Chain A
């Protein structure tokens, strides 16, 4: 279980997150929505320690992630808004490199299989600098098949994906649901998000404004009045 407690973050004098607390249970698919600049991406980046926070605590299964060694991040996999690859390398080289960063040694055949599964040509050896946004997004999804994870944090995963790509992503999410994996999804597409998530949380002005279970407003936080 991921437990986020009283997270605060300011960029300069501008508060981005204010006392944000959230929990994601085992096997839960949580959707995070909110307007631009509400702090959704920042929260995800704080969880995986790409961004520091000004206060609060985050733990995974009771083990603190903040101020802990790199090994505590091993169960978490973060797919950011940007692809997170090296442009001069090929798709297979990028995947192999990322696997090695997680201490894995996948065979080239495994990497090729994962690339094929997300609809990329494994024989393509050119640099990913030539890839379209949608192809980069598919490559990012190949990471989820290469790295073993317990909690997946996805920031705008539908960006650049065509209809086929979105359908593939939906299938992957359903597979993960069946496998009882935990997901934290951020998207502007509230409709798409609500069709996949068990619970939706809205962030506005850096605060949690509302929380819904299966589309019904069954949990209401008391922070709506805060600007």
Chain B
């Protein structure tokens, strides 16, 4: 059932191309704005870049999370899914996974642009960078999918989602920025292990919360 639901989200995106195109266009626009707005020295850019990078990805992720749920509302397909014999926890995981996939695909396009336009050196340890990015994406998608499910039936949900999501993911974002900065600065893992553990804890906690309570939050 999980595969059916994830495939459905991907097929809808393949047909409509609404989510990824808006994510990539918006992300590229902000990256270009950053690149042309200020020109600090390469050293100070290394200090600012991780923060700017994660701000871009957080803004971009809101587009995916909001659109993915608003599509469910368009012809009230969400009611059809809720009334079908589908466990709501599985529904949460499907939204969580498809949100994660959209974010990863958008990052695959936006990250090279970010490094290119901000003239950043590639990190020495790419494997660590990929691991941190994948984990943080899981965290954003878990918290975002849960919140989208909660606010999707509210009239001003497009406004409410970022208002609730940004404070909620602040610990994750700080940890992501610190970890990314440490990797770009080639610091050993032991020095930023705590931030990595915080990211991991966030992912586990929000995945579990979403899995357990989506049944209740998805009903009107």
Chain A residues with CB under 8 Å of chain B are 45, 48-52, 69-74, 76-78, 80-89, 93, 97-98, 100-103, 127-128, 136
Contacts and interface: CB of A to CB of B under 8 A. Distances in A.
B87 to A, nearest CB: 5
The B interface, classified by DSSP as helix, strand, loop or mixed, is: helix
21 contacts: A49-B83, A49-B219, A50-B82, A50-B220, A52-B219, A69-B87, A70-B85, A70-B87, A77-B83, A78-B79, A80-B80, A82-B75, A85-B75, A85-B77, A86-B8, A86-B77, A88-B15, A98-B84, A102-B84, A103-B1, A128-B75
Contacts of B71: 86-88
A61 B76 CA distance: 28
Main secondary structure on A side of the interface with B: loop
Nearest to A140: B80
Contact of B75 (A45, A73, A84): A84
B215 to A, nearest CB: 9
A88 B85 contact: no
Which size class do B's interface residues fall under?
20 to 34
Interface string B64-95: 00000001001111011111111110000000
Contact of A101 (B76, B81, B220): B81
Contact of B15 (A100, A103, A127): A127
A101 B82 contact: no
For A74, A83, A87, A101, which residue has the most chain B Cβ atoms within 10 angstroms? A101
Given A51-B219, A69-B87, A98-B84, A87 B75 contact: yes
Contacts of A69: 87
Contacts of B74: 86-87
A74 B75 contact: no
Nearest to B17: A88
Interface of B: 1, 4, 8, 11-12, 15-16, 71, 74-77, 79-88, 216, 219-220
A85 B216 CA distance: 23
B40 to A, nearest CB: 43
Contact of B84 (A51, A73, A81, A88): A73
Nearest to A11: B220
**Which residue, A50, A78, A81, A93, has most C-beta atoms of chain B within 10 A?**
A50
A51 B220 CA distance: 5
Contact of A102 (B15, B16, B79, B85): B85
Contacts of B77: 84-86
A128 B71 CA distance: 13
B220 A136 contact: no
Given A83-B76, A86-B75, A78 B12 contact: no
A50 B75 contact: no
Nearest to A90: B15
A80 B12 CA distance: 22
B220 A52 contact: yes
Given A49-B82, A78-B83, 13 more contacts: A45-B220, A70-B88, A71-B85, A77-B83, A78-B79, A80-B80, A80-B83, A81-B76, A84-B75, A86-B77, A87-B74, A88-B15, A101-B4
A100 B3 CA distance: 10
A122 to B, nearest CB: 18
Nearest to A94: B77
A101 B85 contact: yes
- Closest A-B pairs by Cβ, 7 of them: A82-B76, A84-B80, A48-B83, A88-B16, A52-B219, A88-B15, A78-B83
A29 B8 CA distance: 34
Contacts of B86: 70, 101
A103 B85 contact: yes
